[in-house]
Structure 1
Amino acid sequence: MRGHTFLISTLLAATLALSGAAQAQLNARPAIGGQVDAQHQFIQEYAKQPGVEVSTEGVAYRFLRKGPPVGLQPMPNSRIRVHYEGRLIDGTVFDSSYQRDETTVMSLEKVVKGWVEVIPRMHVGDKLEMVIPAELGYGQKGSGDGVIPPGATLIFKVELFEILPGELPRKGG
């Protein structure tokens, strides 16, 4: 009986350690750009919500709608057609294809690392929300136009409409 109790408590501890691995990843995030831990605290709180998963790199995400669970999924070098909205934790929208009322075609090779971490988990028809720590977004530099400050956590809603063949044409010829 004592051996069974030890085995059960060991298995329970191992299970808790595994489920806590994602939380440990979030807790290990350093502050960036002089930001107080409010940005990372936001991600930790978001990660506690029902249905939220955390990637190995620390992006918290949840599916808002699941399309058919079959077919192709994007690769890290895929070209995709999406609708998306990007905002800061204070609610400021910094970019939105919804506001432009047209989907966007982009290469995953040319987006922030947080997208590359999560978008390949989607199928065409899926819609998700992801919260990206600054290290996997714009980091200490923020955006060039100043809309996204240094150390900012990013929140994106993304709808995947299509995975496209080929490469995007290069700008300027």
Structure 2
Amino acid sequence: MTERTKPEFDAPSTPAPADLVIRDIIEGDGAEAKPGDTVTVHYAGVEFDSGEEFDSSWSRGKTLQAPLLSLVQGWQDGIPGMKVGGRRELIIPPHLAYGPAGGGHFLSGKTLIFIIDLVAVG
């Protein structure tokens, strides 16, 4: 897979969705991620309302490798079916991310946008 650059985020033009939104930006042609797989990804995340970046593997200069089951529910639901080489946008409402406001995490109560490049599965 060609090494991609950190994605740019477009400002949302609609209200935050109540349900998970999955949009393929680039279709991959490699192995397909399945529920329970360990995935290697490059990703960036911003808050839906402010557009402020809160995390990015590109900024750290290294991918994240983790079992899907250890990640927020929006990733567990949104990455399966994605193929290696693909880039996918996930818009994740609070109940599938870090829970309602006041939940103890600095992102609790926030809708999040991630752009994820699937580098490997297995």
User: Any gaps of 5 or more consecutive residues in structure 2?
Assistant: 1-13
User: Any gaps of 5 or more consecutive residues in structure 1?
Assistant: 1-39, 45-57, 165-173
Displacement after TM superposition at 1:142 (Å): 5.1
Higher strand share: 2
**1:131 and 1:156 in contact (8 A); partners too:** yes
RMSD: 1.7
User: Where does structure 1 differ by over 3 angstroms across 4 or more consecutive aligned residues?
Assistant: none
Partner residue of 1:59? 20
Q: Distance in 2 between the 1:72 and 1:153 partners?
A: 29
Q: Does the C-alpha gap of structure 1 residues 94 and 142 become closer, same or farther in structure 2, counting only changes over 3 Å?
A: farther
Matches within 5 A, 1:2-151: 41-43=15-17, 58-68=19-29, 72-89=31-48, 90-140=50-100, 141=103, 143=105, 146=106, 148=107, 150-151=108-109
Q: Distance in 2 between the 1:152 and 1:100 partners?
A: 23
Q: Does the C-alpha gap of structure 1 residues 159 and 107 become closer, same or farther in structure 2, counting only changes over 3 Å?
A: same
Q: Distance in 2 between the 1:138 and 1:111 partners?
A: 10
Q: Distance in 2 between the 1:61 and 1:99 partners?
A: 23
TM-score of the superposed pair, with normalisation by structure 1: 0.57
The structure number with the bigger radius of gyration is 1
The alignment status of 1:162 with 2:115, answered yes or no, reads: no
Which structure has more relative contact order (CA 8 Å, sep 6+)? It is: 2
TM-score of the superposed pair, with normalisation by structure 2: 0.79
**Equivalent residue pairs, number:** 106
